Structure 1
Amino acid sequence: MRISLRGSILCLLSIVSASLFANPSPSSGVLVKFKNTPLSIAGKEPSKILSNGTLAYYPIPMQEIALWRIATENQEIEWLEPNYILKLDQLPDDEHLGEQWAMMDEAQGHIHAADAWLVTQGKREVVLGVIDSGVDYSHEDLVDNIWTNPQEIPGNGVDDDDNGYVDDLHGISTVKSSGDPMDTHGHGSHVAGIMGARGNNGKGIAGINWNVQIVGCSFIGAGGTGTTADAIECIDYMIDLKNKGVNIKAINNSWGGGEHSKALEEAWLRAHDAGIVMVSSAGNDRSNMDATPHYPSSYVTPSHIAVGSTDNSDELSSFSNYGVTTVPIAAPGGGIYSTVRNNRYSTMSGTSMASPHIAGAIGLMAARNDKLSATELRDILLEAADRIEGLESQIEKGRRLNLAKAIEFADPTPGFRLNSKVSRLKVSAGESIDFEINVRRIYDWQGAVSFTLDQVPKGLQVDFDREPRTPDEPLKVTILPDVSMTSMKLELRFTATSGDINDSLTIPLRIYPEGTRVLDYETPIKGQRIPSNMAEGLAIPFFVSEPGEVTDIKLELDVKHTWFSDLRGELITPEGDIIPLFQDLDHTLNHLQRTFSFEGLSYTMEGAWILRLVDSSYMSYGTLNEAKLQLVGVRSKLRPKPTILLESDRSKIEIPKDGIIEREIIVEGEGEVLAAAVSYHIEHRDHEDLVILLESPDRSIFKVPVKDSAEFNDQLIISDFPLRGIRGASSPGIWKLIIIAQDGRLTGSIESWSLRLMRAKQI
């Protein structure tokens, strides 16, 4: 009996191992199909019961269940199979795909590449141009996607196609005046890999296009520089190819510098006229292109796209240029892994890496629909972009590339798409807001659409015409929340239908309670120096006289600093709560332009809101260029509290070498102090010799920082330094500024001082 059973087990295991265990696919446990109710197997209960109670999952090895089944001669099992680990079919098997955060769904700022690849992975009929340092056309992950000139005979030393270049098999080099675009730097190959590294080949990475043809033109040498003339020659070469039937859809231009060039601008226009989308990097100067143009990304044509850079948190990269009217879209550009020379791979950062994501997207859209014009490709790409709220103050409409939607919107089937000029709405209860939804025809579609709206909360009135309308008539929508509605965030989902065609548009809506107001403040003095190694740092008060409760805060900062890892930023509420803004930033950053947003808060509105920037280093140097504070909240019915500015007389008083002087200001009228700030102007040659204090009428003492002027070391100037911990103090009486000279070596004088008070009772 034992021998027979052992033989049966060995026989079965040999069959099982041949069918299930030879070269197994990745799996986790076993799925078991029962005739009736799932049983305990080898003392283990099922972790999951599926399929109406007859299918069960056990997190144990297949062999263990097979042995149990034979040993018990159990007849309740119909079949069993591995619980296979599954993945999207269209995710490629490229070795380093996991290092391409922009392509992977796990990253917050990803571009939905996997969903796009379910529809198309690109076509060999589409050609993309790279004008850069060249392309390593022999790279293992690029070689299969390199354009080859069918009119040239390799290596015969003859200009077979009579275009002025000998043996231009894969493009040209204008910097070397040859028909060989081999990369001598590495930058161009990195760009090319983002656009079109071969996908699903088991090697390296996957480009936006798994299948495509890339033509290169090298105008930048090994030193990383090139000339306008050589760049124009590259553009004209690719325009000539286009005119001769090479299907070039987009050219990537990850470079910039110099002033406005009419010659280069005209080359941009020629490319547009030829039907080529020109894509360019916005630049890495951290500057506002609305105010300071960057070329070539500031050239304007109907099909040109300038691209800013985002990081994996969907924020603007610290290095990226920006502009709400000049930079229409952003794409991943920080920490991008791609191909470089000599079959190697590397990580690079810059708008140079963001731009080829867009050029690659244009190529993938053309693979989906080759009939789209250059202008249509641009417009559809922008329409399909995600709207990122944190980018709205930096990139036009806060757009960030969504590759899947771009492919969806490029669908060649006639139909329609919904869009709106608004990306999100905000309204207070009891007030109304209007906006429009537009219907865009696709490929001469003719018809009328009817609109519906998903269910909305009670108390929210949304009015619009539900009769069928043509795309020529925008849908006008009015939103009116009832006064009883409280703070709420929701989404309005409109659906337009025409026969079996439909499209939806979702618009986020924020409802504030009745009486909500938006209050805006900004720094009165721009370009204030951030003191080094001073515990108090630079403290900027925003005096808010409106009583009420703050629910939302938005703070826009523009700060320059030589070593940002030493700088800390925070916002202090009137009651002393600290809202952290940033700390331990990348030390390579030297210019921070960022918007900080906070929602769902509950803070007292009136009083001094203090922006504090603290530099912990002796050696670094920084400047607050500008700060703008926006408070959103519900006002109370109390009257606003004005601030009063009280100044001492302007007589100059000497500070003794070793002693104390006091300057007084008398405050009249009743009322508790809500906020206070001190200003002074002192002349003294050694600021470390002084201690400065403020004494309130109730004899409380507040330390005031000693800060030297950025321009003159003997000028000690403080402007509106906010005093913490003073809220609730009694205001009437004598306020004293006390100056103590400690070592007796130097003299000085106080020119003036002033006190700004906000009180709970009006004078």
Structure 2
Amino acid sequence: MKQLLLTLSLVFTLGLSAQDAAPQNWWELDRTDNSFPGVSAAKANEYLADKKAEPVVVAVIDSGVDIEHEDLQGAIWTNEDEIPGNGIDDDKNGYVDDVHGWNFIGGADGRNVNYENLEIVRLYNQMHAKYNNRNRDGLNKKERREYDRYQEYKEVIDNKRAELGPSAAQYAMIKEAVDAAIEELDMEPEDVTAEDIAGLESEDENIAIVKRVVANAAASGATFADVYGQLEGATDYFDSQLKYNYNPDFDARDIVGDDPNDMKDRYYGNNDVEGPDASHGTHVAGIIAAVRDNDLGVNGVGGSNVRIMSIRTVPNGDERDKDVANAIRYAVDNGAKVINMSFGKGQSPHKDAVDDAMNYAQKNDVLLVHAAGNDGKQLTLENNYPNDTYQGRRRTGKTWIEVGAAGSNYDESLAASFSNYNKEYVDVFAPGARIYSTTPDNEYATFDGTSMAAPMVAGIAALVRSYFPDLKAKQVKEIIEESAVPVVLQVVKPGSEGEKVNFADLSATGGLANAYTAVKLAERTKGKNRRLRDERDESLIQY
């Protein structure tokens, strides 16, 4: 029981005790005007209000998007060449009834993948049939290297499962104790308050512990809904890690019915762009395109001309390279000018296929925005995929932006503690901590992650491409990077125990992405382009 109390305290005080004083919309505000280091989206959109713009399609390659959300109405892409629900590929693009996007992790029978293995488990399973019960001494040099990787993967998986088992059981016990308290009250969880819990009269020791923990959380400004939401998330996390992510016996791909290693296969899946768990993707979509100034929820960075194309590719587990490559190609072929990719993993067995898709996007003038990851570590080309460097080469994609996460306080905590970083491989930082945005069923929630920082930049890119459509993707990338607001601060290095570094050393730009400065620079760049064209035309006339 002492362990239960300790764990409850950790769960509810770590995530909830330090309540942020920043407003829910801090991430769209301006540091000069509002004192919060947001992306100045409100200022940029106000500046552009009376200027001409064109619709711009942003593909959200993610877990799915609730396209019926109240705050996304009018902001969802529609394939005008497809007749909804007729079961015919009207536009002959290979995808039947792809009215609002496509789902690469669904089956033709309408079923959908929700949970998936991590890539390390899939690689282990591929090697297991070959190397299980084999002796290393009887292998050739190439096989010994592969055998050693197999043993390394096995050790990681075994250790992780040994660690997860007790944690999953512990959180299940905590959840049971809290649910018992709710049952005692005979109320729905969303209606319970800290005062209700405090008023419980029970001799049950578990309920007594819950009362103390909820009281401590309430004293720190957290509601019971905060506590319960945090607990549900932790319970689901450990349970899914054990049952699915790190479980070699679990295989969900039969739902799709394809060969996931056949990189030439492009036409599979279904048209369900929401899927069974669209929380992450809907949150991302809201940051980019939630309708501004409609007295609902949040205001998207990208303004009123963004159209979200939902491409469901990312399960609760690691995405597959085949699906990522096909999702990028689908987005390009169907008119997306910006692609948001808030996902990543530690291995990429078919990186060449993703590289080819990245190159395809670049050739077709499409900007790719990718989240740097949440491991609180220095990014390398071997620990985070996908990335912008072609397999086995030094050449990089020219229309790729890698984004780290910042918090709402302009002080030593500015770099989010979970964010990955690298002076060479991370391009810019953007708000990614305590981000309030849309979630399914007309709900809203606060999430943390570089997954939230990437769509800030995708929103800026959409704003620029909407109002300055003549600018190329490579120019938009350069504008976002060159207009990043420099930060001259010593900050706590993400993932460290208080070690201080210059914020400028965490990314290539050393700054924070900013919509207003990007728009102003885009204006100047557009003017420069026009002058160059005029000069070229004049020289042709003279010639």
Work out whether residues 124 and 213 of structure 1, in 8 Å CA contact, stay in contact via their aligned partners in 2.
no
Aligned residue identity for 2:300: G
- Report the secondary structure of 1:337's partner residue: strand
- Distance in 1 (CA, whole Å) between partners of 2:530 and 2:27 is 29
- Distance in 2 (CA, whole Å) between partners of 1:414 and 1:365 is 11
Deviations 1:305-353 (A, max 9, x none): 0000001124211000001111111100001000011111000000000
- Distance in 1 (CA, whole Å) between partners of 2:362 and 2:440 is 31
Q: 1:408 aligns with which of 520, 529, 536?
A: 520
Q: 1:383 aligns with which of 482, 486, 506?
A: 482
Q: 1:304 aligns with which of 400, 404, 407?
A: 400
Q: TM-score, normalised by structure 2?
A: 0.56
Paired position in structure 1 for 2:90 = 160
- Report the secondary structure of 1:324's partner residue: coil
Paired position in structure 1 for 2:446 = 347
- Distance in 1 (CA, whole Å) between partners of 2:69 and 2:78 is 15
Change (3 A) 1:183 1:344: farther
- Distance in 1 (CA, whole Å) between partners of 2:84 and 2:23 is 38
Q: 1:181 aligns with which of 269, 273, 281?
A: 273
Deviations 1:121-142 (A, max 9, x none): 6956211110001111010111
Change (3 A) 1:411 1:240: same
1:233 aligns with 2:326: yes
Aligned residue identity for 1:357: M
1:370 aligns with 2:474: no
- Distance in 2 (CA, whole Å) between partners of 1:415 and 1:367 is 16
Aligned residue identity for 1:143: Q
Work out whether residues 193 and 207 of structure 1, in 8 Å CA contact, stay in contact via their aligned partners in 2.
yes
1:128 aligns with 2:58: yes
Shift of 1:295: 1.3
Shift of 1:98: 4.8
Pick the structure with greater CA Rg. Answer: 1
Paired position in structure 2 for 1:255 = 343
Paired position in structure 1 for 2:24 = 99
Change (3 A) 1:393 1:344: same
- Distance in 2 (CA, whole Å) between partners of 1:366 and 1:239 is 15
Q: Structure 1: which 4+ aligned runs deviate by more than 6 Å? A: none
Paired position in structure 1 for 2:7 = none
Deviations 1:385-405 (A, max 9, x none): 101123112112312111101
Work out whether residues 286 and 322 of structure 1, in 8 Å CA contact, stay in contact via their aligned partners in 2.
yes
Shift of 1:383: 0.8
Aligned residue identity for 1:294: N
Shift of 1:225: 3.8
1:217 aligns with 2:311: yes
- Distance in 1 (CA, whole Å) between partners of 2:513 and 2:423 is 16
Paired position in structure 2 for 1:705 = none
Aligned residue identity for 1:167: D
- Report the secondary structure of 1:397's partner residue: coil
Work out whether residues 107 and 312 of structure 1, in 8 Å CA contact, stay in contact via their aligned partners in 2.
no
1:358 aligns with 2:457: yes
Work out whether residues 199 and 209 of structure 1, in 8 Å CA contact, stay in contact via their aligned partners in 2.
no
Higher RCO by CA contacts (8 Å cutoff, separation 6 or greater)? 2
Aligned residue identity for 1:306: E
Paired position in structure 1 for 2:231 = none
Paired position in structure 2 for 1:583 = none
Q: What does residue range 530-609 of structure 1 map to in structure 2 within 5 Å? A: none
Paired position in structure 2 for 1:45 = none
Paired position in structure 2 for 1:264 = 354
Q: Which of the pair is proportionally richer in helix?
A: 2
Change (3 A) 1:123 1:337: farther
Change (3 A) 1:115 1:277: same
Paired position in structure 2 for 1:652 = none
- Report the secondary structure of 2:70's partner residue: coil
- Distance in 1 (CA, whole Å) between partners of 2:417 and 2:339 is 26
Change (3 A) 1:151 1:347: same
Work out whether residues 368 and 411 of structure 1, in 8 Å CA contact, stay in contact via their aligned partners in 2.
no
Long gaps (5+) in structure 2: 1-21, 107-268, 390-395, 490-502, 536-543
Aligned residue identity for 1:371: D
Work out whether residues 290 and 324 of structure 1, in 8 Å CA contact, stay in contact via their aligned partners in 2.
no
Aligned residue identity for 2:55: E
- Distance in 1 (CA, whole Å) between partners of 2:327 and 2:509 is 33
- Report the secondary structure of 1:206's partner residue: coil
- Distance in 1 (CA, whole Å) between partners of 2:381 and 2:46 is 41
Q: What does residue range 692-731 of structure 1 map to in structure 2 within 5 Å? A: none
- Distance in 1 (CA, whole Å) between partners of 2:40 and 2:471 is 22
Work out whether residues 167 and 180 of structure 1, in 8 Å CA contact, stay in contact via their aligned partners in 2.
no
Deviations 1:277-323 (A, max 9, x none): 00000011111125754211343311100000001124211000001
Aligned residue identity for 2:372: A
- Distance in 1 (CA, whole Å) between partners of 2:54 and 2:479 is 22
Paired position in structure 2 for 1:745 = none
Change (3 A) 1:183 1:200: farther
Change (3 A) 1:291 1:376: closer
1:396 aligns with 2:489: no
Paired position in structure 2 for 1:203 = 296
Paired position in structure 2 for 1:112 = 40
Deviations 1:244-271 (A, max 9, x none): xx3x221000000132411111211111
Paired position in structure 2 for 1:170 = 100
Work out whether residues 460 and 514 of structure 2, in 8 Å CA contact, stay in contact via their aligned partners in 1.
no
1:273 aligns with 2:369: no
Deviations 1:39-84 (A, max 9, x none): xxxxxxxxxxxxxxxxxxxxxxxxxxxxxxxxxxxxxxxxxxxxxx
- Distance in 1 (CA, whole Å) between partners of 2:526 and 2:92 is 42
Change (3 A) 1:291 1:159: closer
Q: TM-score, normalised by structure 1?
A: 0.40
Deviations 1:365-398 (A, max 9, x none): 0122000111000001111110112311211231
Deviations 1:689-743 (A, max 9, x none): xxxxxxxxxxxxxxxxxxxxxxxxxxxxxxxxxxxxxxxxxxxxxxxxxxxxxxx
- Report the secondary structure of 1:118's partner residue: helix
- Report the secondary structure of 1:191's partner residue: helix
- Report the secondary structure of 1:389's partner residue: coil
Q: What does residue range 68-87 of structure 1 map to in structure 2 within 5 Å? A: none
Shift of 1:217: 0.3
Paired position in structure 2 for 1:325 = 424
- Report the secondary structure of 1:217's partner residue: strand
- Distance in 1 (CA, whole Å) between partners of 2:61 and 2:356 is 17
Work out whether residues 111 and 401 of structure 1, in 8 Å CA contact, stay in contact via their aligned partners in 2.
yes
- Report the secondary structure of 1:193's partner residue: helix
Paired position in structure 1 for 2:492 = none
Deviations 1:511-548 (A, max 9, x none): xxxxxxxxxxxxxxxxxxxxxxxxxxxxxxxxxxxxxx
Paired position in structure 1 for 2:77 = 147
- Distance in 2 (CA, whole Å) between partners of 1:338 and 1:258 is 27
Paired position in structure 1 for 2:115 = none
- Distance in 2 (CA, whole Å) between partners of 1:272 and 1:388 is 30
Q: 2:409 aligns with which of 313, 317, 327?
A: 313
- Distance in 2 (CA, whole Å) between partners of 1:160 and 1:411 is 40
How many residues get paired? 321
Deviations 1:162-211 (A, max 9, x none): 11211111000000110221143210110000000111112111101231
Paired position in structure 2 for 1:294 = 384
